[in-house]
Each structure stands twice: as C-alpha cells, then as structure tokens.
Amino acid sequence: MALRHFLTLNDCSPEELDQIIQRAIEMKKDLAVIRDAEPFKRHVLGMIFEKSSTRTRVSFEAGITQLGGHGMFLSSRDTQLGRGEPIADSAKVLSSMLDIIMIRTFGHDRIEEFAEHSSVPVINALTDDYHPCQLLADMQTYVEYRGSIKGKTVAWIGDGNNMCQSYMLAAKQFGFHLNIACPEGFEPKADILESLKDRITITRSPKEAVKNADLVVTDVWASMGQEEEQKQREKAFAGFQVNEALMTYANDDALFMHCLPAHRGEEISENMLEHASSVVWHEAENRLHAQKALMEFLLLAAKS
Ligand code: CP
Ligand code: NVA
C-alpha cells in the first residue's frame, strides 16, 4: 500500500498534478458514468472542520457521494478533538475507521501531525499556510479556458496568505511566473519566498503586478482567524483592490479568479465577479471535479 497525503502541492509531482487535472476535466464530462460505476462504494471520507466552509464542505461531501461513498462531517465543536484530545490519538483512531480524511484547520503543523499518525490518506482542505485543493480547481479552470499555464504570468494582488502561498508552490509545479503585489508587512513567509525566488517577483504596485498578466487572482484581506484585524487590514490594503480599471493593465485575454467568499467593495469592486474576465463560478464548481479526481488518485494509490 502506497500511502499518499496531499498537504501541499509539493506532495505530487508536476506530472501527477497534470494527471489529476486531466482526470478532473474528464470526470466533469462523464458525471453519469462515474455515478453508475460507484468506484468507491461504501468508502467513507472523514471531513474534519475546525473553521467554517461552504464550498469545501459541499464539494467534498457531494464528490465522495458521486463516487459511491459517504462523507462524514466532523466539526471540532462536537468532537473530542475540539476538547483537546491529542491530534496523534485522534488520527490513529479516526484513520482506523475511515478510508480517507480531509481536514480544515489553523496551524499547518496540526495537519502535518495528523498525517504523520494517520494510516489513510489525509487531504489539506485549508490551513493558515496553504489551500492546495483550491489550486487544483484554479489550474483546472485555467486549462479549460486557455490551455496550459506553463510559461504564463500570474498576478496575485493582496495578502501574502494561504492562497498566495499556494500560488507560490503552483508557480514551481505548473511552471508559471508569479507577480505578487502586497502591502509592506503582509508578505508571504520569507522561507517559502526564498526557496522559490526565481519564479516570483514581489512589488508594492498592483498595476506593475498585472502588467502582461494572463491570470489575475485575489482573496480576502482578513482570512479566517484574523477577524479582529479587519479594520487595520482595510487601511493597509487600500489601493490593493482588483477592479475594472486594474484589469485594463493585464493582457487582453487575462482571466480573473477568486477562491470565494468575496468581499465586494474591499478586495474586489462591486461588479468584478461579473467582469468579462471573471471565471469565478466555474472555478468554484471545479472544486467538486478536482477533488473527486484527487480522492480517486489517493484512494487508488492506497490500494496499490
Ligand atoms: N474557497 C473555499 O475554500 O471556500 P469555503 O471556505 O466556502 O470552503
Ligand atoms: N484566505 C482565506 C481563504 C478562504 C477560502 C481564508 O483562509 O479565510
């Protein structure tokens, strides 16, 4: 049995990531075939949430159901994990009963520790540092609209957060250049930046970042867990909004993505989600397809 986890994009080779994305595109076209085949009948996905979610919860639960299995929602509010049961103990017990587990949590070290003690595949459904499942959906969306992203330029506007850091790893794994425009003090982690510096340019100017960009991406200014910093962040990020005017500096066929939920009037203008460049609704839907392909990849690896 080859136990594989998906904690960051670095857990797969570039070839495997391409394979997962191609499979996601295929699964999207063949939903009826997958439903009839029920390849993972009676397999159970544990879904541990220590933070809120709409897209991630629904796409994982719908996804495993379409594959013939069952999704079990486990909120930290109602489990012993939320009352301080050690992560290692929880991982040993839960993985003895489940076939695959996804976790949304705070510190990335929590999911690393869980995976270390799990006997089944563990998927990162967002930590403070990374959101790799979102990147599978984003890359699938780019491929569907424009073909390969290799050699292209991506502009990240805003916070150097979990989504930004996921785009940094994606720059290496998918072979694009990433321009990051963020205010001083809101950069991504220095060690991640140092290890990927050939693929990344940091600027203070959103206009500079979107120049020649094929894809423009942003995210909320205050992530989950940073709610009390909202006001201070609104000040720091003024001028870092993605809007119609900023998009005129990008390439004519540039796409716009946002993982959602979005805050209109903050990181995006009122109508940005409806802008001609916006593919956000397809991006959100692709969470379902990309994660089905990911679960298939990990479950098949575990059986091999
Ligand atoms: N993009 C995303 O992960 O959305 P949710 O927080 O709704 O899961
Ligand atoms: N950066 C955001 C992403 C939400 C999907 C957060 O962590 O809250």
- CA-nearest residue for atom 7, ligand 2, is 223
Distance CA 177, CA 198 (A): 8
152 shares a domain with 230? yes
**Is 232 designated active site?**
no
From first to last of its 304 residues, the chain has per-residue pLDDT tens of 699 999 999 999 999 999 999 999 999 999 999 999 999 999 999 999 999 999 999 999 999 999 999 999 999 999 999 999 999 999 999 999 999 999 999 999 999 999 999 999 999 999 999 999 999 999 999 999 999 999 999 999 999 999 999 999 999 999 999 999 999 999 999 999 999 999 999 999 999 999 999 999 999 999 999 999 999 999 999 999 999 999 999 999 999 999 999 999 999 999 999 999 999 999 999 999 999 999 999 999 998 8
16 and 40 both lie in a single domain: yes
> Is residue 248 in some structural domain?
yes
Let me know whether 126 and 199 are in one domain.
Answer: no
Tell me, yes or no, whether 94 lies in a domain: yes
Q: Which domain holds residue 240?
A: 134-283
Q: What is the pTM of this model?
A: 0.98
**CATH code of the domain in which 188 resides:** 3.40.50.1370
Exactly one of 219, 233, 241, 291 is catalytic; name it.
219
Q: Residues 201, 168: contact at Cβ < 8 Å? A: no
Q: What sign for the dihedral angle of Cα 187, 188, 189, 191?
A: negative
Residue 191, token pair as written in the block? 């060690």
The residue whose C-alpha atom lies closest to atom 4 belonging to ligand 1 is 55
Q: CB of 289 closer than 6 A to ligand 1?
A: no
